[in-house]
Amino acid sequence: MAFAGVLNDAEVKAALDGCAAADSFDYKKFFKACGLASKSADEVKKAFAIIDQDNSGFIEEEELKLFLQNFSASARALTDKETKTFLSAGDSDGDGKIGVDGKSFLYIFECNTTLGTH
C-alpha cells in the first residue's frame, strides 16, 4: 500500500469498503474515513506525490480514475461520473488537472476538514 506508515490500515480498509459500489465514492467522506482529512499540509502534499503517478506536478483525470488503487491494488477504478466530480472539486482553472497548490488539492482537503462542504 502506497500510504503504509502514513495512514491506519483499518481506517483505509473501512474507507475503501464504504465506496466499494460503483458511484458510491464521495471524496469528502473518503478523506475523513481514511484519516487523510486530519493530515497536515505537508502530509497532504506527500499524498499528492503518491497519487501523481507520472510526477508531472498535476493529477490528471486518468490518475484520479485510479485514485482508490493508491490505497489498495485490488480497489476498483472510479466511474467516469465519480472521476469528473472529484476533478471538478480541485480543478480551479478548468485545465482538467489538479495542482498541489492554490485551490486545487489542498482545497479539497480544507473543504472537508474546516468548511465541511465544497
**Annotated binding-site members:** 52, 54, 56, 58, 63, 91, 93, 95, 97
Cβ(105)–Cβ(48) under 8 Å? Answer: yes
Element containing residue 104 per DSSP (H, E): helix 104-110
CA distance 17 to 12: 8
| DSSP secondary structure string for all residues of 19-64 | T-STT---HHHHHHHHTGGGS-HHHHHHHHHHH-TT-SSEEEHHHH
Q: Which of 108, 92, 96, 115 is nearest to 47 (CA)?
A: 108
Binding site feature residues for Ca(2+): 52, 54, 56, 58, 63, 91, 93, 95, 97
